[in-house]
Copies of this chain bind each other. A is one copy, B any other.
Amino acid sequence: MRKRVVLLILFYSFFIQNIWSQGESYGEYNLMPWPKEIKQTASKFLINSNLTISINRTDKSRVHNAAVSFLRRLANRTGVFIDNGFPLQGKVSTSIEINFDTLSNLTIHDDESYSLIVNEDKIIIQAISDVGALRALETLLQLVDHNGDDYFFQGASIQDSPRFVWRGLMIDVARHFQPVRVIKRNLDAMASVKLNVFHWHLTDDQGFRVESKIYPKLQDASSDGLYYTQDQIKDIVNYASNLGIRVIPEFDVPGHASAILTAYPELSSKKDYTYTIERYAGIFDPTLDPTNDNTYIFLKNLFTEIAPLFPDAYFHIGGDENEGKHWDENPTIQKFKKQHDLKTNHDLQTYFNIKLEKILRGLDKKLMGWDEIMTPNMPTTAVIHSWRGENEGMPKGGSLISAAKKGYQTVLSNGYYIDRMLSVKHHYSIDPIGDIQLTAAERKRVLGGEATMWSELVTPLTIDSRIWPRTAAIAERFWSAKEINDIDNMLIRLKDVNNKLEELGITHLRNKEVILRNISNHKNNKALKTLSNLCEPLKMYSRNKGGTEYKTYSPFTLFADACIVDAPDAMRFNKIASKLEEEISILEIKKYFKTWSNNYKDLHPILHNPNVKPLKALSQNLSSVSRILLEAISSKKVTQSNLNVLKASLLILKEPIIDVELTIVDSLEQITEFCETNYLIK
Contacts and interface: CB of A to CB of B under 8 A. Distances in A.
Contact of A610 (B151, B503, B509, B558): B151
A79 interface: yes
A1 interface: yes
A518 interface: yes
B553 A79 contact: no
Contacts of A225: 65
Interface string A59-75: 00000010010011001
B521 A502 contact: no
Given A279-B85, A555-B81, A556-B76, A610 B146 contact: yes
18 contacts: A65-B225, A79-B557, A80-B555, A81-B554, A85-B551, A85-B553, A146-B609, A146-B610, A148-B607, A148-B609, A148-B613, A180-B181, A499-B521, A502-B517, A502-B518, A509-B513, A510-B511, A510-B514
Contacts of A607: 148
Interface residues of A, number: 60
A29 B281 CA distance: 39
Nearest to A81: B554
A77 interface: yes
B610 A76 contact: no
Contacts of A149: 610, 613
A148 B610 contact: yes
Given A75-B555, A78-B555, 4 more contacts: A71-B553, A79-B519, A85-B552, A149-B610
Contacts of A461: 76
A608 interface: yes
B72 A1 contact: no
Nearest to A550: B81
Contacts of A272: none
B180 A555 contact: no
A461 B231 CA distance: 26
Identical copies in the complex: 2
A546 to B, nearest CB: 15
Contacts of A521: 1-2, 146, 499
B509 A517 contact: yes
A58 interface: no
A609 B71 CA distance: 20
Contacts of A558: 79
A241 to B, nearest CB: 14
Contacts of A68: 224
A79 B610 contact: yes
A604 interface: no
A146 B511 CA distance: 23
- Residue of A68, A76, A150, A510 most packed against chain B (CB within 10 A): A76
A80 B519 CA distance: 12
Contacts of A72: 553
Contact of A608 (B148, B224, B553): B148
A170 B455 CA distance: 36
A621 B555 CA distance: 47
Interface in A487-531: 499, 502-503, 507, 509-511, 513-514, 517-519, 521-522
A542 interface: no
Interface string A80-118: 111001000000000000000000000000000000000
A20 to B, nearest CB: 29
Most buried by B among A1, A147, A279, A502: A502
A499 B513 contact: no
Listed residue (A72, A179, A229, A514) with the most chain B CB atoms within 10 angstroms of its CB: A514
A611 interface: yes
A574 to B, nearest CB: 21
B148 A75 contact: no
A560 to B, nearest CB: 11
Contacts of A556: 76
A150 to B, nearest CB: 6
Nearest to A613: B148
Contacts of A517: 499, 502, 509
Contact of A180 (B77, B180, B522): B180
A150 B610 CA distance: 6
Contacts of A554: 75, 81
A552 B510 CA distance: 26
